[in-house]
Amino acid sequence: MNRRDIPNLLGKPVRTIKLKTESWNDKEGTVISWNEENQRFGVKLFFNQKTTDSIVKWFKPINLIYYAKPQNLWEENVFKYVLLNQLTDYKLTNFEEGIQLFDQLRSLEEEEKYSQTFMKIWWLRELGKIRASKDKRYLPKIKNILENIIQISKFDDLIVSAKLLLAGNMNGLMTKIHHNPTIVNMCLNCVGEHYGYLPKLFNQLAINIDLEYEIKNGKNEMFEILKDLYFQSKNMILKKTCVCGAEADFLQGADTILLFCKSFNPPGIISAEEVCFIRKRIELGLQNSAGEAYYYFLSRICFIEDKFQDCIHNIQIYQENVTKNAGNVDELVNCYMLKLDCYIMLKNKAMAKMTWKKLKTFKNIWDLDFILESRKNEIKKMSKLNNIAQKKKQTRTRTQCSSYDCKNVEPHVGAFKSCGNCRLNYYCSRKCQTQHWKNGHRQECQKI
């Protein structure tokens, strides 16, 4: 196996995770070697920090994560802030405070700079998930910090990690849903130095390349690249030589490729075999409580298998988990698109119309004109007779209040009132709506 196919952990502190033998879980140590034949890292585990008691054990890359252990007082303060989520609340002052803390660590030695930069990227990822999903003003700030890390960092694996996060951040800044050449080029430039990140790179490329457009214009190069990355990533998942968490990215990218293959049937990927493989990996993830995202992956697989009722059931579970934790965020457009296609296939005109109206509320954020028009024409052709035996249900799920400082969740769908203009944000009270308006929604709503 090529050295680039394994995580860059040599000489770095790590922690063991997801081991079948519980007694070896959550142990700290340092990576001292790599065994090419057995594809295992040799880790020197420490049992007592005050003494030199240690033992060398061999672990698969997927069972190790980098452990950002504080090296001095400043790192200890940063680590404490990150763990307590004090830097990921919804106040701009704490965002600036976090940047100042990280900037004050610049005088550290090279080994300590790795730890500082790792924690900084981890913090920015969490910040992007929690805050930037509600307030787009933070996305340019995160983008500038990541670009700076890419320019000054000397660690290849951190540069790849920063580029991947930047690609996701740029995707959040886009107003179009299709192909972004900048993200594609950024990911392709990382393939040669991926260090176990290949499944993540594969996913970023899969969701940012408009394969339908490429095929219609007689261009097969990008599909061939994605096909090659798919099988390479699949091999890394099976051999467990990728970084921790990469399997979820692989499954999302695989769903995208298989949905495309279902519609266009290009040569090279045997859909039936691959769908079976992906379903087994998803079901295994759900058994291990891997996260609510696996319900989204499972719903897409159900759609590929023409199990539309199961698809709706799973996407509803995923959607409610998202809205209860983050509110009515932009990524829900994918949920409504999938549910709309399911209702059209089930010939349920009433639910299709209701879902189409919900999807329409996102049209000023995403480029949905073609999708909305084509689905509208399909709904018009449907017969009303199919609605008699089908009960009308809610297509929206319970949501969290859209105010940055409020985490109230609807007791039932419809309990919160939406913004009268954009109809994308929901509030538990007039006070929360006013606060959100002053804290940035004024600019977002006026653009819409």
Please list the pLDDT of the chain residue by residue as tens digits (448 residues): 444 555 567 777 788 887 877 778 888 888 888 887 888 888 888 765 554 567 888 888 778 876 656 656 655 665 665 555 455 444 444 666 667 666 665 545 555 567 677 777 877 776 666 555 566 667 777 888 888 888 888 777 788 888 888 876 655 543 334 456 677 777 777 776 666 778 888 888 887 777 777 777 777 778 888 888 898 889 888 877 777 778 888 998 898 888 888 877 776 666 788 889 999 999 888 887 767 788 999 999 999 999 999 999 999 999 988 888 777 777 788 889 999 999 999 888 889 999 999 888 887 777 778 888 888 899 888 877 665 455 567 788 888 888 877 888 888 888 888 888 888 888 999 988 888 888 778 877 766 5
* pLDDT of amino acid 180: 61
Cβ atoms of 334 and 342 within 8 Å: the answer is: no
Q: Which helix (H) or strand (E) holds 231?
A: helix 221-239
Task: Using alpha carbons, list the distances in angstroms from residue 123 to 13, 241, 325, 408.
Answer: 19, 25, 18, 24
Beta bridge partners of 34: 41
HSE value, Cβ hemisphere, 13 Å, CA-based, for 204: 32
Sequence-distant (≥ 6) Cβ neighbours of residue 235 within 8 angstroms = none
Sheet holding 54-59, edge to edge: 54-59, 40-46, 28-35, 13-16, 64-66
For residue 41, the one-letter residue type is F
* pLDDT of amino acid 288: 77
- Backbone dihedral region of 330: left (phi > 0), alpha (psi from -120 to 50 degrees) or beta? alpha
Phi, psi at 269, each rounded to 5°: -120, 120
- Token pair recorded at residue 296: 């989204």
Q: In Å, how far from its chain's centre is CA 180? A: 17
Sequence-distant (≥ 6) Cβ neighbours of residue 91 within 8 angstroms = none
Task: Using alpha carbons, list the distances in angstroms from residue 64 to 109, 113, 289, 345.
Answer: 24, 20, 19, 44
* pLDDT of amino acid 82: 55
Beta pairing class for 64-66 and 13-16:
antiparallel
d(CA 146, CA 159): 9
- Token pair recorded at residue 132: 């930037």
Cβ atoms of 225 and 249 within 8 Å: the answer is: no
Beta bridge partners of 42: 33, 58
Q: How many residues are recorded in the chain?
A: 448
Q: Which helix (H) or strand (E) holds 41?
A: strand 40-46
d(CA 122, CA 75): 14
d(CA 338, CA 116): 40
- Nearest of 218, 223, 217 to residue 205 by alpha carbon: 223
Cβ atoms of 157 and 7 within 8 Å: the answer is: yes
Which domains are seen in the chain, by residue range? 3-66 (2.30.30.30)
Q: What is the DSSP string of 72-96?
A: SHHHHHHHHHHHTTTTSSS-HHHHH
Sequence-distant (≥ 6) Cβ neighbours of residue 324 within 8 angstroms = 397, 398, 399, 400, 409
* pLDDT of amino acid 301: 92
Cβ atoms of 320 and 394 within 8 Å: the answer is: no
Beta bridge partners of 54: 46
Residue holding tokens 């992956």?
297
- Nearest of 276, 310, 314 to residue 292 by alpha carbon: 314
Question: In this structure, what DSSP letter does residue 26 have?
Answer: T
Question: In this structure, what DSSP letter does residue 409 have?
Answer: B
- Token pair recorded at residue 429: 């009270």
- Token pair recorded at residue 443: 């600019």
Beta bridge partners of 30: 13, 44
